Amino acid sequence: MIKAEQLALFVVEASYDKLSEQTHEQLKIRILDALGCAIGVCREPIMAMVHAQVDEFDGQGRCSLIGGGSAPPDRAAFYNGALVRYLDFNDSYLAPSETCHPGGR
C-alpha cells in the first residue's frame, strides 16, 4: 500500500470517539490556537489582498471563509490556511540558542 493509500485509509477510519482523552484535549488546544491566530489577523491588509484574490477567482462556493464569505474548497483552504499560519510565520525569527514557535512542532 502506498503512502497516499495509507493516509486515505487513516482518514476514512478516523473517528473522534476513537481518540484518547489526552488527544481530545490537545486537539481542542490546537483548534483554539488556530482560530485565535486567524481572528487575530483577519483585518490585516495582506489578508484583504488574499481575500480579494479568492474573490477574483470565483469567490462563491460552499466552504466558509473565516471572517465571512465563502469559496470553493481549494480557495477556502488557501485563505483559511493563510489566516491560521500568518502570525506563526511572522514569529519565525530564530535568535541564537532559540527554539522555533511551538505551533511548528
Check whether 84 has a pLDDT greater than 70.
yes
Check whether 25 has a pLDDT greater than 50.
yes
| pTM score | 0.70
**What is the structure's pLDDT at 105?**
42
What mean pLDDT is predicted for residues 85-97? 67
CA distances from 16 to 11, 25, 33, 81 (A): 11, 12, 19, 22
**What is the structure's pLDDT at 38?**
94
Give the mean pLDDT of the chain: 85
| pLDDT tens, residue by residue, 48-68 | 999 999 988 876 789 999 998
| pLDDT tens, residue by residue, 29-40 | 989 989 999 999
**What is the structure's pLDDT at 1?**
86
